[in-house]
Amino acid sequence: MNIVILASGRGSNAKRIFEVKKSGGLKNVEIKALLSDKENAPALKIAEDFGIESKYVDVMRKGAFFNPEGTQNYISTIDSYTPDLIVLAGFMRILPVEFVEHYKDKIINLHPSLLPSFKGKDGIKDAWDYGVKVSGCTVHYVNAELDAGKIIAQKIVPIEENDTLESFEEKIHKAEHELLPKVIEDLSK
């Protein structure tokens, strides 16, 4: 199964996928490239360090959305890798309907909450501020509605009495690093 990873930031989830692959996991997976909407995203350097092709692809618009030319730019770039699966690992853009329809049932997203609760970009802080006792992370298929696609898998993370927002966030990221590679492995079978 050929995958393309989209990431906007630090790249910790992409790094975990690369580590699992390098250590002999994800046997049926070929990581074709990591693409980023941020020219200086640390994720690009991480991919490069693992020998994975990395590329900045401009969405041609500031903010959370693509412009039409940026959408076509992403589609043509991704199509060149003939992916079976597109993995959103900290990609902080809202995908246009045209993009989602072009890759129908081929895009998965990692979200830092137990969806359908706490959708959007601040899932960890929103859960913390709300005072929930349990949160977690979700991998789901992407559809035209934000964080509303069919759920593939979730991992629960309890909030302990002595947790801080920072320790809770760390626990969520640890859970993400376990869940995302497992889902990719399962989908590759």
Coarse DSSP helix, strand, coil percentages of the chain, rounded to the nearest 5 percent: 35, 20, 45
Contacts of 45 (CB under 8 A, 6+ apart): 11, 54
Q: What is the DSSP string of 5-44?
A: EE--S--HHHHHHHHHHHTT--TT-EEEEEEESSTT-HHH
Active-site residue identified among 111, 140, 173, 177? 111
State yes or no: is 177 an active-site residue: no
Task: Please name the residue that has the structure tokens 């993995």.
Answer: 87
Provide the annotated active-site residues.
111
